[in-house]
Structure 1
Amino acid sequence: MEITTDTHSHHISQQFNNELEDLKTHLLAMGGLVEKQVQDAIYALTEGDSAIAEEVRANDRAINDMQIRIDEECTRILARRQPAASDLRLVMAVTRATSDLERVGDEASKIARHAIKLAEEGEPPRGYIETRHIGNHVRNMIKDALTAFARFDTELALKVAQEDKSVDLEYRSAMRALVTFMMEDPRSISRVLNVIWVLRSLERIGDHANNIAEYVIYLVKGMDVRHSTPESIEERLSES
């Protein structure tokens, strides 16, 4: 059964309706903080702002706490309500999405750590243009994945899955350029390696955004599209 934004508000128990709505609201609040973490981490790196980077690292604890609280909410709903069908899919999708958001927060914290190291070294290394571009790309993917979750929008979720492929191509291109630069100038190796680790974190953030988009499709359509190509996902959606 396909679900809409109204599906989870028709229970006899108004309390159950509220619990499901709160669950979604708390997920989106966590997502908003995670998205800001990514944005701030990229800013800290490209602007050499160690203070912002320290804030990102400090805020990682708040994201972990939010995940724990949301997981506890999901456990209570499963135990008390024993949800079936679309309600169960919502709880499962929220649990999976919070796990990915927590990992995005971890990657933002890693970026912040490298930003501090690079700020201490002073001279900006190569790769900042690519880093800013890919960083903005994956941040928009996180934003779109969360919007798709809020709206139960499978078309937007598919768009996120398609964008992940573009990010992978951009990542590989940037990595090749940086490796070439290190070979030409061995003195740059230490600085450029920090940028390479940042790019790796950004690529992983894109993967997590893609995972959340896949959970949206599972939530709305009941389709498990994990490990599927964007082309096959599009085909399955068109047939449903």
Structure 2
Amino acid sequence: MASSRSSEGSAPSGGFPRHTFREQDALWAELLALGDAVVGSLEKCVQAVCEGRLDLIAEVKEEEEESDRKEVKIEQECLRVLALYEPVASDLRRLATVLKVNRDWERVADLALRVARRVRKLARKHPEIVAPEDLKDLARAVFVHVKASQTALKQSDAEAARKLIAGDQTIDDAYRNVRRGLKEQLAAHADQLDGWLLLLNSARNLERIADHATGIAQAVIFLQEGTIVRHSAK
């Protein structure tokens, strides 16, 4: 049966309305903008860890709150499009990717704020404790990892995403080394227990941020190939 839609409102294929493609494009642009904001916030967090830039922590907090609002807005809009138009195939994959990555960006922003707050608490309560260099190196490596996931997402680059996933093991190894060293310091300085625990928690949160970047890379592969690589061998 011929469609009754006008040519202006007709779908390019499969009966999917043209304006819905515009809505998807707008959603994708919002997701990329959220990623830009979160990466900027994480960079400030890393500066707080590595350079003692406590003045940036208030900005990280404000940006985390804004990320929360954007995450909810994107999710609501994505669910609305899913409910109204029931997309299939690549369109459904794209919207599923938006939902997944949207949540990952929100979690990165939240974890960055947690790390930044612990940096401030350590400076206030235990100024005699300095973050070790291997923790700073971990923070820098995690930022590079997240930045790479952002680039893979923007370019929809499955090959780059696979390289990033393979590199996650390096982050895990670095985290284990940092954790081992911090536990040794904790055992040697039991009177500074709270301070070393703050650093341990920061290291763990940095490793979790890297996990979310890896999740974004997995979503890029799903978007491009329809393949779920989560839990598969790296």
Bigger mean CA deviation after superposition, 118-127 or 209-218:
118-127
Larger Rg: 2
Question: Following the alignment from structure 2 to structure 1, what is the Cα–Cα distance between the partners of residues 46 and 87?
Answer: 40
**Alignment-derived partner of residue 205 in structure 1:** 209
**Alignment-derived partner of residue 173 in structure 1:** 177
1:228 aligns with 2:229: no
**Are the equivalent residues in 2 in contact too, given 1:46–1:128 (CA < 8 A)?**
no
Q: CA deviation at 1:97?
A: 0.7
Number of equivalent positions: 222
**Alignment-derived partner of residue 88 in structure 2:** 84
SS in 2 for 1:225: coil
Shift in CA distance, 115/180, structure 1 to aligned 2, threshold 3 Å: same
Unpaired runs of 5+ residues, structure 2, are 1-10
**Alignment-derived partner of residue 7 in structure 2:** none
Question: Following the alignment from structure 1 to structure 2, what is the Cα–Cα distance between the partners of residues 101 and 118?
Answer: 26
Question: Following the alignment from structure 2 to structure 1, what is the Cα–Cα distance between the partners of residues 35 and 109?
Answer: 9
**Are the equivalent residues in 2 in contact too, given 1:127–1:178 (CA < 8 A)?**
no
From 27, 39, 56, the counterpart of 2:31: 27
**Alignment-derived partner of residue 147 in structure 1:** 151
Q: Give runs of aligned pairs for residues 7-156 of structure 1, distance below 5 A.
A: 13-121=17-125, 123=127, 125-156=129-160
Unpaired runs of 5+ residues, structure 1, are 1-8, 231-240
Q: CA deviation at 1:204?
A: 0.2
**Alignment-derived partner of residue 218 in structure 2:** 214
One-letter code aligned to 2:41: Q
One-letter code aligned to 2:218: E
**Are the equivalent residues in 2 in contact too, given 1:67–1:99 (CA < 8 A)?**
yes
**Are the equivalent residues in 1 in contact too, given 2:93–2:222 (CA < 8 A)?**
yes
Deviation track 1:196-224 (CA, whole Å, cap 9, x = no partner) reads: 11100000001111111111111111111
TM-score (normalised: structure 2): 0.88
TM-score (normalised: structure 1): 0.86
Question: Following the alignment from structure 1 to structure 2, what is the Cα–Cα distance between the partners of residues 48 and 127?
Answer: 9
Question: Following the alignment from structure 1 to structure 2, what is the Cα–Cα distance between the partners of residues 116 and 137?
Answer: 21
Q: CA deviation at 1:104?
A: 0.9
CA RMSD of aligned residues (A): 1.9
Determine which structure has greater relative contact order: mean sequence separation of CA pairs < 8 Å that are 6+ residues apart, divided by chain length. Answer: 1
From 190, 200, 210, the counterpart of 1:196: 200
Q: CA deviation at 1:229?
A: 2.0
Shift in CA distance, 47/62, structure 1 to aligned 2, threshold 3 Å: same
**Are the equivalent residues in 2 in contact too, given 1:31–1:146 (CA < 8 A)?**
yes
Question: Following the alignment from structure 1 to structure 2, what is the Cα–Cα distance between the partners of residues 139 and 124?
Answer: 26
Deviation track 1:168-195 (CA, whole Å, cap 9, x = no partner) reads: 0000011111111222232332222111
Q: CA deviation at 1:122?
A: 5.7
Question: Following the alignment from structure 1 to structure 2, what is the Cα–Cα distance between the partners of residues 216 and 124?
Answer: 44
Q: CA deviation at 1:28?
A: 0.9
One-letter code aligned to 1:55: E
Question: Following the alignment from structure 1 to structure 2, what is the Cα–Cα distance between the partners of residues 77 and 155?
Answer: 29
SS in 2 for 1:226: coil
Identity among equivalent positions (%) equals: 31
